[in-house]
Chain A
Amino acid sequence: MKVELRDPNKIMKLSRLGSFHQSKLSFLRSFLNEFKEWEYKRDLFNLNENGFGEAVYSFKKNKRVYSLVCFANDIKDEERSDRVIATKWDAAFTLHDGVPTKKDIERLKNEVPKQEVGRLSYKELTLSRANKSVRIYNHVVESLSKGQQPDLNLLSKVGYLYRTTAVYGSGKFGLADRFRIKNREEINGPFRLEMMLVYLVRQFTFDQVNHVAYYKNPKKAVKLDDNICKNLGIGNSTGLGMAPFIVNHPTLLNNWVLSREKALKKIREIKDVESQDSDLFIDCVKKSLKNITSWNTDSEYQQKKISSLLMDVEKFLNFIDKDFNFKSEYPFEKIYQWLEENTCEECIEYIVSIMMEPYNDIINPLVKEMSSDEEKYFNIPTYRKVDELRNIIEAKYPNILDINFEEKENNKNFWFISKNKEEPRLADRFEEHGSELEQPLAIARDIKKLYDKLLVSKNSLTIAEFLTSNSELRHVVRRAFIVEKFPYSEIQDNTIGKDLMPIDMLRLKLSFFGALKFDPRSDKWLRICMFQGAPLPNELKSYDEQWVYKTNI
């Protein structure tokens, strides 16, 4: 049986993309898989009794070393903020390429805590900072210093000791450009170094609470139980900064979504499913219920999504238990069809993610296809003709062409870069100033403009000729030729309409990171948790691959 890839016009709608969940393809899981054989080490731990100072952690294999350099700082409670405008953080980190010398550490000590206003060098690969979850951090230190383990109920409400508020890479603030390291096999996957940073930061948070608790009460203090550590992740506060990324990197977006779609297609095409595979799939779905029931959020929007997800997953399990026979032919195809007919988008994508669990042979090769050599597709094929471009747009953007951008509600917002912090923002063009400085992120509107121009242009004109008098549409001409080759490279929705939920764009990206427990704090930013349930560094050589469905708190 041949199953078609799902239609980009359906899958690339924001409501669907905003329903994506982590999977075996997610970057934090593929990072663990890639680095499981590497030697992990804590090279330096120079903190004072209050937990302030420097620490270095590393992964090493043969002659390659990646070192996380941590700086834990003393800040006042009123200075602590998750907002991008903050200037001080509880801790700041950079991932250094190689073993940092004393001189490097001194240099980094002056720069890393400053974050955006500091300068890094080509020897540094990623940069980040994090704030304590003060409530949880203090409780854990207090408990450990008294010789007790912390209250699991309290821990489960948050799920982490620290949350990062930004993770930067690829040439930002002087960090190494991607091209310097792109030929390294171990990082042939998107955001692998960012994932490494976050993973090592998680270990630092455990070491720091143990250290502080010990100095608080050396005679009585105990260490945080490994099983509790394992069930804590690293939080992350994410704002609109992430949203333009997926618009600005179309071929990369395509490769992420295409990998997911290819995985699903191949799984739906499996005629006979082995019992061990169906058992693993069902076991993961059942165990994952804990992830849904322990998913805390004050967001009404997300609460509704969670409750319909929970209801539909339970309905699905009931269907599997009572009405389904995995011994029938093409069982995953039947499951997929049932999901489409009977459940919400959130549930469909949730189960699609879990379908991948038994199939390393399908997933692992796809992980290697998730990067992109973007430069290769940058040049516009200007020798092509106007009628070809028009045909591409008609075929690839059918729903976009139906949007009437003359209507105010479809043209309500504009994306801009804030002067204060150089971060992307969204505003109402009819109420706020600055829309003349709009960023080129209104792709749907501009594609429609391009199409209207093409309709009144001669078919035989080359694109080079067309562009001589239509320079303002050049950015979307480029995109249309990209979408011709990369069907999942474009969000098939209006990114400036009144109904836009920007967090759908954030969730899409975060799901590929492998984030759990999306907790929207508004329609423009959210908190998430990463690596909750993941093996600790000393367990990497042999760990349960389905750890993500087996968190205990």
Chain B
Amino acid sequence: MKSLSEIETTVKRASKATGYSWGVSEETGKSIRLLELFSLPGIKHLNEYFNEKNKSKFENLNLIGENNSSSKNPYCPITLGVSFLDQINVLENLKKIEFKNVAYPIIFISFISRSSEIIGKKIYLKMDEKKKILLNLNVNISSNFIEQEFPKLANTIEVNLLENEDNFTDDEWNNLYKLSEETFVEESDSLKEGAAGAGLTDND
């Protein structure tokens, strides 16, 4: 088994050899390491992408907007990923961002996962309508198609930046809280009198 350290170093060097700058290659190393840590096919897709990059053209998107579409060639997932990571503080203000025609989307997703940690918000992705992915603050990546192959091309990726909200109802919480109260003990009056702050009459 390859260690994550070997994966990161080799990816960094391979990315540099493919033409990316050292700084971008460092980012790619971190991102692919992350995918492999989560048992997602980072090395496999990076390999395929680099092979294809020799033969085909990919678009670089440096400035991301609300709707991003490449009609001719698919977007390079690394440049797109680094741009997303760099611009996340601005993108955070957009609730929904759409990308059309992205090559090897799993590579792009690894950068979005890291962005989720930077802004401290979960990010929800819909890929070609049916495939759904939740990026949990870079702690894990969950999806509804873990058993299926990741596509080599995403026609559309819809990125939703989720607000930090509970994903349960008030009723559910209150029920649980009530149950937790059963571990509390009713205090006697004499104990109340001696507790911190007791006896003070001012409000300072």
Stretch at the interface among A13-21, A149-157, A357-365, A376-384: A376-384
A171 contacts the other chain (CB 8 A): yes
Residue of A nearest to B5 (CB): A171
Task: Say whether B118 faces chain A, with CB atoms less than 8 Å apart.
Answer: yes
Minimum CB–CB distance from A259 to chain B (whole Å) comes to 24
Residue of A nearest to B87 (CB): A464
Residues on B with beta carbons closer than 8 Å to the beta carbon of A478: 23, 26
Nearest chain-A residue to B37 (Cβ)?
A179
Which residues 25-49 of B have a CB within 8 angstroms of A?
Answer: 26-27, 30
Q: Given contacts A383-B89, A468-B62, A468-B83, are A176 and B26 in contact (CB under 8 A)? A: no
Residue A122 at the chain B interface, CB threshold 8 Å:
yes
Closest to A380 in B: B86
The complex places the Cα of A237 from the Cα of B27 at a distance, in Å, of 33
The residues of B that contact A471 with a CB separation of less than 8 Å are 20-21, 23-24, 82
Chain B residues, CB < 8 A from A383: 89-90
Instruction: Indicate with 1 or 0, residue by residue over A170-181, a CB within 8 angstroms of chain B CB atoms.
Output: 111111111100
Quick check: B114 and A475 within 8 Å, CB to CB?
no
Whole-angstrom distance between the Cβ of A441 and the nearest chain B Cβ:
10
Is there a chain A Cβ closer than 8 Å to B195's Cβ? Answer: no
CB distance from A415 to the nearest CB of B (A): 12
Instruction: Report if A474-B23 is in contact (Cβ < 8 Å); known contacts: A382-B89, A468-B63.
Output: yes
Residues of B within 8 A of A179 (CB): 4
Residue A121 is within 8 A (CB to CB) of chain B in the complex:
yes
A467 at the A/B interface (Cβ < 8 Å)? yes
Q: Is the interface of B mostly helix, strand, loop or mixed?
A: helix
- Alpha-carbon distance A176/B4, docked complex (angstroms): 9
Alpha-carbon distance between A468 and B90 when the two chains are bound, in angstroms: 14
The 0/1 profile, CB within 8 Å of B marked 1, for residues 461-479 of chain A is 0111001110111111110
CB-CB nearest in chain B for A174? B3
Partner of B3, one of A122, A380, A468: A122
CB atoms of A172 and B3 under 8 A apart: yes
Per-residue CB contact flags for chain B residues 40-67 toward chain A (1 = under 8 Å, else 0) read 0000000000000000000000110000
* A218 lies within 8 A of chain B by Cβ: no
Q: Once the chains bind, are A172 and B5 in contact (CB under 8 Å)?
A: yes
Establish whether residues B118 and A177, one from each chain, have CB atoms under 8 Å apart when the complex forms. Answer: no
A56 to B27, CA, bound (A): 41
Whether A440 sits at the interface, judged by CB under 8 Å, is yes
Is B114 a contact of A474 with CB atoms below 8 Å? no
Known pairs A382-B87, A464-B90; A177 contacts B21 (CB<8 A): no
**In angstroms, how far is the closest chain B Cβ from the Cβ of A256?**
20
List chain A residues, Cβ under 8 A from B27: 474
* Contact of B2 with A by CB under 8 A: yes
**Cα–Cα distance between A473 and B27 once the two chains are bound (Å):** 13
Chain A: interface residue total (CB-CB under 8 A): 33
Q: Are B3 and A175 in contact (CB under 8 A)?
A: yes
CA distance A173 to B88 in the complex (A): 36
The chain A residue sitting closest to B1, CB to CB, is A174
Report A1-27 CB contacts with B as 1/0, cut-off 8 Å: 000000000000000000000000000
Q: Mark A367-408, 1 if CB is under 8 A from B, else 0.
A: 000000000001110110000000000000000000000000
| Residues of chain A from 172 to 216 with CB closer than 8 A to chain B in the complex | 172-179
CB pair A177–B63 under 8 Å, yes or no, is no
Let me know if A464 and B86 touch, CB within 8 A.
Answer: yes
CB distance from B40 to the nearest CB of A (A): 17
With A464-B87, A467-B86, A468-B62 as known contacts, state yes or no: A171 contacts B3, CB within 8 Å: yes
Contact A475 B21 (CB under 8 A): yes
Chain A residues with Cβ under 8 A from B114's Cβ? 379
Closest to A378 in B: B30
Contact of A382 with B21 in the complex, beta carbons under 8 Å: no
Cβ of B145 < 8 Å from any Cβ of A? Answer: no
Decide yes or no whether B22 CB sits under 8 A from chain A.
yes
Determine whether the beta carbon of A178 is less than 8 Å from that of B5. Answer: yes
B115: nearest residue on chain A (CB-CB)? A379
In the complex the two chains form, is B22's CB within 8 Å of A474's CB? yes
- Report if B128 contacts A (CB, 8 A): no
Residues on B with beta carbons closer than 8 Å to the beta carbon of A477? 23
CB-CB contacts below 8 Å: A300-318 with B: none
Question: Chain A 154-167 against B: per-residue CB contact (8 Å), 1 yes, 0 no?
Answer: 00000000000000
Establish whether residues A171 and B6, one from each chain, have CB atoms under 8 Å apart when the complex forms.
yes
Specify which of B5, B26, B82, B118 lies most central, judged by the most chain A CB atoms within 10 Å of its CB.
Answer: B5
- Chain B residues with CB below 8 A from A378, complex form: 26, 30
Given A440-B22, A475-B26 in contact, is the A174-B86 Cβ separation under 8 Å? no
Give chain A nearest CB distance to B67 CB in angstroms.
19
Name the A residues within 8 Å of B23 (CB-CB). 471-478
CB–CB B4/A474 < 8 A = no
Residues of A with C-beta under 8 A to B13: 417
In the complex, how many angstroms separate the beta carbon of B19 from the nearest chain A beta carbon? 11
A174 CA / B63 CA spacing, docked (Å): 39
Given A122-B3, A173-B6, A474-B27: 13 more A-B contacts, CB < 8 Å: A122-B1, A170-B5, A172-B6, A174-B1, A174-B3, A177-B3, A378-B30, A382-B89, A383-B89, A468-B63, A469-B62, A474-B24, A478-B26
What are 5 residue pairs bridging A and B, where the CB atoms are less than 8 Å apart in the complex?
A121-B1, A170-B5, A171-B6, A378-B26, A379-B114
Per CB-CB distance, the 7 closest pairs between chain A and chain B, nearest first, are: A474-B23, A171-B5, A171-B3, A475-B23, A468-B62, A464-B86, A440-B22
